Amino acid sequence: MIDITSARTTFPALSRRLDGRTVAYLDGPGGTQVAAPVIEAMSRFMEVGGSNLGGPFATSVETGEVVNGARAAVADLFNADPGEIVFGQNMTSLTYAMSRSIARTWRRGDNIVLSRLDHDANVSPWLQAAKDAGVTVRYVDFDPDDGCSLELETLDRAIDRYTRLVAFTHASNAVGTLTPVSEIVDRAHDVGALTYVDAVHYTPHGLVDVRSTGTDFLVASAYKWFGPHTGCLFGKADLLESLEPYKLRPTHDTAPDRWETGTQSFESLAGVTAAVEYIASLGTGETRRDRIVSAYAAISAYETTLTERFLAGIGHIDGVDLYGRGTPEGRTPTFAVDVAGTSPAEVASSLGALGIFVWDGDYYAYEVMRRLRKDPDGLVRIGFIHYNTVEEVDRVLDALAALT
Ligand SMILES: Cc1ncc(COP(=O)(O)O)c(C=O)c1O
């Protein structure tokens, strides 16, 4: 079980006040607050004397250890091997880079399959790569009347033996819906297509397991799970070896280094390891992976209590519509709502003035909002994280009720 008091004291930002009240950070899907050990690890890297990689002296050797430590930590987070972890500026940049390399293998007559439930960072890079390569793009749809679940019939209709890639999200950053990752991966693999999973929204809430799902690629961003602004990509070892990256000479580097262009943010990588350690600290077990598995069970149990309370309350507020699943199963604690008669921007700014921080707009879930006919204003997004409290759930519900 999560010790909520102890978890909250680990986040210095949670003590921030606005007009005498503590701030309720319900903007986690846009980026979580940062755990104190992460801040300390990043400062320490810069305090003790840093250096670039590859030098024959202490600080350079230590930088190498920081990079290797972060690869091992994220490998534990994803259940991968350290050699399968690539770092980059963020998920979007990593996806642009990887999509270019994967697209080099496509031929005219091929097709790729994207999903309408995705953040645009897992749509536009592929759309543009498809245009350059002259391949067709097909979509998997979701059903707004069924909790915004992906419609797997549309996947079955979309894929065939010419499908080279299926790119989809682990969970929607707009409406919180989870997707059946293993099932989609299996169907893609049946026709010989690669899979590219966006786990950016999912990772603060649920256990990632690239071994059991079998995906070829998976991407996440540490700033969504209590760490710094760094993107993390998993790619199966054989693919990271066989695909050709766009990179500078000399080209003799081996994977995963050959996928990392320029100088990495080493201080961030020190923070990435500390963020994984923070997650592991919420669980018990012998190995770090064991503790991560146990931590996510605790996170999920606690977040379910927040979800149940939010769903019970929101159902009683006339004039507020919820988009997405109305039950805790199959979703993250991320809720997209509409308040009748008040624009999402006005709702978010009224709540912001009360110290309740939520997002409005499309948060780059561009296809989702178009499908829900909510573009261009979008919806209000209220997102809970395991450091949020039942009192904060009630506080946002009361504030929404007062707006109707
Ligand atoms: C589901 C999802 N995918 C991708 C992204 C883009 O991530 P990044 O900012 O690391 O490029 C986000 C950012 O909000 C997201 O929520």
- Per-residue pLDDT band for 254 (boundaries 50, 70, 90) equals confident
pLDDT (0 to 100) of residue 1: 85
Q: Are 345 and 358 in contact (CB under 8 A)?
A: no
Place of tokens 């005498």: 20
For ligand 1, what atom is nearest to the CA of residue 231? 10
pLDDT (0 to 100) of residue 50: 87
Pocket lining: 231 vs ligand 1, CB cutoff 6 Å? yes
Distance 29 CA to ligand 1 centre (A): 9
- Per-residue pLDDT band for 249 (boundaries 50, 70, 90) equals confident
Pocket lining: 198 vs ligand 1, CB cutoff 6 Å? yes
Pocket lining: 92 vs ligand 1, CB cutoff 6 Å? yes
Residue 8: is its pLDDT beyond 80? yes
Domain limit, last residue, from 225, 246, 280: 280
State the chain's mean pLDDT as an integer: 97
Distance 119 CA to ligand 1 centre (A): 7
For ligand 1, what atom is nearest to the CA of residue 171? 1
pLDDT tens digits, one per residue of 31-84: 999 999 999 999 999 999 889 999 999 999 999 999 999 999 999 999 999 999
Pocket lining: 205 vs ligand 1, CB cutoff 6 Å? no
**CA distances for 66 relative to 50, 55, 81, 165, angstroms:** 10, 14, 16, 33
Gap between the Cα atoms of 343 and 364, Å rounded? 18
Helix (H, G, I), strand (E, B) or coil at 383: strand
Q: Which amino acid is at 280?
A: A
pLDDT (0 to 100) of residue 185: 98
Q: Mark whether 315 and 271 lie in a shared domain.
A: no
- The secondary element (H helix, E strand) that includes residue 302 is helix 288-314
Q: Mark whether 140 and 111 lie in a shared domain.
A: yes
* Beta-carbon contacts of residue 22 (< 8 Å; ≥ 6 apart): 14, 15, 16, 355
Pocket lining: 173 vs ligand 1, CB cutoff 6 Å? yes
pLDDT tens digits, one per residue of 296-309: 999 999 999 999 99
Q: Are 276 and 76 in contact (CB under 8 A)?
A: yes
Q: Are 385 and 339 in contact (CB under 8 A)?
A: no
pTM for this prediction: 0.98
Distance 173 CA to ligand 1 centre (A): 8
Distance 17 CA to ligand 1 centre (A): 28
Q: Mark whether 158 and 210 lie in a shared domain.
A: yes
Q: Mark whether 177 and 305 lie in a shared domain.
A: no
Strand partners, 191: none
Domain limit, last residue, from 233, 257, 280: 280
Q: Mark whether 149 and 262 lie in a shared domain.
A: yes
Pocket lining: 201 vs ligand 1, CB cutoff 6 Å? yes
Q: Mark whether 244 and 343 lie in a shared domain.
A: no
For ligand 1, what atom is nearest to the CA of residue 363? 14
Q: Which of 236, 122, 240, 98 is nearest to 179 (CA)?
A: 122
> What range does the domain containing 333 cover?
4-35+288-403
Q: Which of 141, 193, 132, 138 is nearest to 172 (CA)?
A: 141
Q: How many domains does the chain have?
A: 2
Distance 348 CA to ligand 1 centre (A): 20
HSE-CB at 166 with a 13 A cutoff on CA atoms is 29
Distance 56 CA to ligand 1 centre (A): 37
Gap between the Cα atoms of 218 and 198, Å rounded? 6
Helix (H, G, I), strand (E, B) or coil at 54: coil
Q: Mark whether 22 and 138 lie in a shared domain.
A: no
| Buried/exposed code over 293-314 (b: 16+ C-beta within 10 A; e: otherwise) | bbbbebbbebbeebbebbbebb
Gap between the Cα atoms of 123 and 127, Å rounded? 6
The CATH number of the domain holding residue 62 is 3.40.640.10
pLDDT tens digits, one per residue of 99-153: 999 999 999 999 999 999 999 999 999 999 999 999 999 999 999 999 999 999 9
Pocket lining: 32 vs ligand 1, CB cutoff 6 Å? no
HSE-CB at 180 with a 13 A cutoff on CA atoms is 13
- Per-residue pLDDT band for 248 (boundaries 50, 70, 90) equals confident
Residue 210: is its pLDDT beyond 90? yes
Over pLDDT 90: what percentage of the chain?
Answer: 97
For ligand 1, what atom is nearest to the CA of residue 121? 4
Q: Mark whether 243 and 260 lie in a shared domain.
A: yes
For ligand 1, what atom is nearest to the CA of residue 95? 11
pLDDT tens digits, one per residue of 171-198: 999 999 999 999 999 999 999 999 999 9
Residue identifier of the C-alpha nearest atom 7 of ligand 1: 91
Q: How many CB atoms lie within 10 A of CB 168?
A: 25
Q: Mean pLDDT, to the nearest integer, of 210-235? A: 98
pLDDT (0 to 100) of residue 26: 98
pLDDT (0 to 100) of residue 109: 96
Pocket lining: 63 vs ligand 1, CB cutoff 6 Å? no
Gap between the Cα atoms of 254 and 54, Å rounded? 15
Residue identifier of the C-alpha nearest atom 12 of ligand 1: 200
Domain limit, last residue, from 280, 313, 339: 280
Pocket lining: 90 vs ligand 1, CB cutoff 6 Å? yes
Residue 252: is its pLDDT beyond 90? no
Q: Mark whether 50 and 88 lie in a shared domain.
A: yes
SS3 content of the chain, % helix, strand, coil (to 5): 45, 20, 35
Q: Mean pLDDT, to the nearest integer, of 378-391? A: 98
Distance 334 CA to ligand 1 centre (A): 14
Q: Mark whether 320 and 262 lie in a shared domain.
A: no
Strand duo 136-140 + 111-115: pairing:
parallel
- Per-residue pLDDT band for 323 (boundaries 50, 70, 90) equals very high
For ligand 1, what atom is nearest to the CA of residue 31? 14
Q: Are 206 and 171 in contact (CB under 8 A)?
A: yes
Q: Mark whether 81 and 15 lie in a shared domain.
A: no
Q: Mark whether 89 and 10 lie in a shared domain.
A: no
HSE-CB at 242 with a 13 A cutoff on CA atoms is 7
